[in-house]
């Protein structure tokens, strides 16, 4: 048992009626890898690569990035490691990168927008490091792009990945990592069908998705009530994303804070999420919750929840 009292479950988990749900870890520092494995993570569902760029004077070299990703892949030899490309801008500032001053940074050049900016070669370096690590590391690498809003951005990111693969002297076909996008903007949720047709997976970032769907700053407590993913507007965005992914036969995960709330596990399983990724502390509880959930009744509950008109109706649905 861990500090929350839930037993560590090392095997992958299924609902009582046999639906497999992947339970993975969100990682923000290399030191979190081992503890996540010990808590029973099936893999890494979100590796936040920003840490590599913090507390230093210059960007990390390709080799430094390679080593960090390699370590993650070797910690989960039988699992998948979803590495998110650099997600800076917004509230995440890096002094030496000299990012533009913006009046509304959360609506500015953040996430994939920054990676695709013409004045930056950070993206190409990072992609090369990722591909080299995928070729040498034990686990399966997946590459994920943050804050995508348009198909054009995805196409540009895929072009950059192809160019990075072409630059290396290894067999690009043999490496072939899964590629996915985060669903964090209303546009991405509305366009989930077109995105799903072009990638191997979608992962819902509910921290930002809630912020943008509800127009409520994720850091501002005065609007904390609005920044709640159980508002039906957010649930409908989630539902639409899951439906779009499954129509294209690809998997869909969630890596925002919502995924780690054991009180919401039944709802999320019911909405059809294939993977839940969270900070490692809650993994044992969420695995236990999945194993106690019946997918067929959860899915009826999920249907009712996303038809609710208000957040309180959603919660009534969850409690009955
Ligand atoms: C999210 O937005 O839900 C997410 C997982 O990304 P981050 O919290 O790093 O912005
Ligand atoms: Mg985000």
Q: Name the maximum alpha-carbon separation found in the chain.
A: 58
Taking CA atoms, 209 is separated from 106, 120, 137, 237, in Å, by: 12, 26, 32, 9
Out of 27, 86, 207, 210, mutate this one to test ligand 1's pocket (max ligand atoms within 8 Å of CB): namely: 207
The per-residue pLDDT for range 120-139, each reduced to its tens digit, is 899 999 999 999 999 998 99
Q: Report which of 279, 286, 277 is spatially closest to residue 81, judged by C-alpha positions.
A: 277
Buried/exposed 146-166: b ≥16 CB within 10 Å, e otherwise: bbbbbeebbebbeebbeebbe
| Torsion, CA 249, CA 255, CA 261, CA 267, rounded to 10 | -20
Question: What CA–CA distance (Å, rounded) separates 183 from 231?
Answer: 17
End-to-end CA distance of the chain: 29
Query: For the purposes of burial, counting CB atoms within 10 Å of the CB of 193, is it exposed (0-12), middle (13-18) or buried (19 or more)?
Result: middle
The per-residue pLDDT for range 246-269, each reduced to its tens digit, is 999 999 999 999 999 999 999 999
Predicted pLDDT at 2? 55
Phi, psi of 201, rounded to the nearest 5 degrees: -165, 160
The per-residue pLDDT for range 81-119, each reduced to its tens digit, is 999 999 998 877 888 888 888 999 999 999 999 999 988
Average pLDDT over residues 189-205: 98
- Provide Rg for the chain, Cα atoms: 19
Q: Is the pLDDT of residue 205 over 70?
A: yes
Q: Is 205 in the pocket of ligand 1 (CB under 6 A)?
A: yes
The per-residue pLDDT for range 136-155, each reduced to its tens digit, is 989 999 999 999 999 999 99
Q: Which atom of ligand 1 is nearest to the CA of 146?
A: 6
Please list all protein residues whose beta carbon sits less than 5 angstroms from ligand 2, which is an ion: 184, 205, 208
Average pLDDT over residues 199-203: 98
CA 249 to chain centre: 18
The continuous run of DSSP H or E covering 276 comes out as strand 275-278
Predicted pLDDT at 167? 74
Name the pLDDT band for 173 (thresholds 50, 70, 90): confident
CA of 92 to the centre of ligand 2 (A): 11
The continuous run of DSSP H or E covering 242 comes out as helix 232-247
CA of 87 to the centre of ligand 1 (A): 9
Specify the pTM. 0.96
Q: Is 184 in the pocket of ligand 1 (CB under 6 A)?
A: yes
């Amino acid at each position: 048992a861990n500090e929350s009292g839930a037993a560590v479950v090392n095997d992958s988990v299924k609902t009582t009626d046999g639906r497999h749900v992947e339970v993975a870890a969100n990682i923000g520092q290399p030191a979190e890898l081992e503890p996540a494995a010990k808590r029973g993570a099936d893999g890494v569902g979100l590796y936040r690569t920003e840490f590599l760029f913090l507390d230093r004077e210059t960007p990390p070299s390709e080799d430094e990035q390679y080593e960090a990703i390699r370590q993650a892949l070797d910690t989960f030899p039988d699992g998948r490691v979803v590495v998110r490309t650099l997600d800076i801008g917004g509230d995440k500032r890096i002094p030496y990168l000299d990012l533009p001053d913006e009046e509304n940074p959360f609506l500015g050049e953040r996430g994939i927008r920054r990676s695709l900016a013409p004045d930056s070669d950070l993206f190409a370096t990072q992609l090369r490091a990722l591909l080299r690590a995928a070729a040498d590391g034990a686990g399966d690498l997946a590459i994920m792009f943050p804050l995508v809003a348009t198909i054009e951005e995805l196409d540009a990111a895929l072009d950059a990945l192809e160019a990075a693969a072409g630059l290396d002297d290894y067999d690009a076909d043999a490496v072939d990592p899964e590629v996915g996008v985060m669903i964090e903007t209303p546009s991405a949720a509305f366009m989930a069908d077109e995105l799903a047709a072009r990638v191997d997976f979608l992962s819902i970032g509910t921290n930002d998705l809630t912020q943008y769907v509800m127009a409520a700053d994720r850091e501002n407590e005065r609007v904390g009530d609005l920044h709640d993913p159980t508002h039906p507007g957010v649930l409908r965005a989630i539902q639409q994303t899951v439906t779009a992914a499954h129509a294209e036969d690809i998997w869909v995960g969630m890596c925002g804070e919502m995924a780690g709330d054991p009180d919401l596990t039944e709802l999320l399983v019911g909405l059809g999420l294939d993977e839940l990724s969270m900070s490692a502390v809650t993994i044992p509880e969420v695995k236990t919750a999945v194993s106690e959930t019946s997918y067929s009744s959860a899915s009826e509950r999920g249907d009712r929840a996303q038809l609710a008109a208000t957040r309180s109706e959603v919660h009534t649905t969850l409690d009955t």
